[in-house]
Amino acid sequence: MLVLSRKAGESIVIGNDVVVTIIEFRGDQVRVGVDAPRSVQVYRRELYDEISRENRLAASVAPGDLGGLPGRPKQ
C-alpha cells in the first residue's frame, strides 16, 4: 500500500479525475472530501463490504430454496 503523509487542506490525486482532500482532524476522526466523476462510486468501506456480502448471499440462493418465500400479505 502506498502511504502518504498529508496535512489538513492537502490533497491526493488518483488518476486524472479523483481528488481526495483531508479536510480536518477532530479527535480520533479525520474528515475527508472526495471529488470524483459520477461514474466513480465512493463508499464507506464497511458499508461496501456489508452490501457486497449480502449480494454474494443473494446470488447463492437456489430455486429449490424458495419453498419458504412469503406470499403477498393480506390487506
Partner 1 sequence: MSTNGGVPLVVPTDRFGELTVDPGDVIEFPDGLMGFAMVTRAIAVPVNDDGLFWWLQAVDDPALAFLAVVPWAFFADYEPVLPADVQDRLGIDDADDALVYCLVTIHDDPRRFTANLLGPVVVNRRRRLGRQVVLDADLPTRAELPSPQ
For 29, 38, 52, 60, the CA distances from 26, given in Å and listed in that order, are 5, 28, 30, 42
- The helix (run of H) or strand (run of E) holding residue 53 is helix 45-58
Closer to partner 1 at the Cβ: 4 or 66?
66
Closer to partner 1 at the Cβ: 3 or 62?
62
Chain residues 7-66 in contact with partner 1, contact rule CB under 8 A: 38-39, 41, 43, 47-48, 50-59, 61-63, 65-66
Q: Give the C-alpha separation, 68 to 66, whole Å.
A: 5
- Residue ranges binding partner 1 (CB under 8 A): 38-39, 41, 43, 47-48, 50-59, 61-63, 65-74
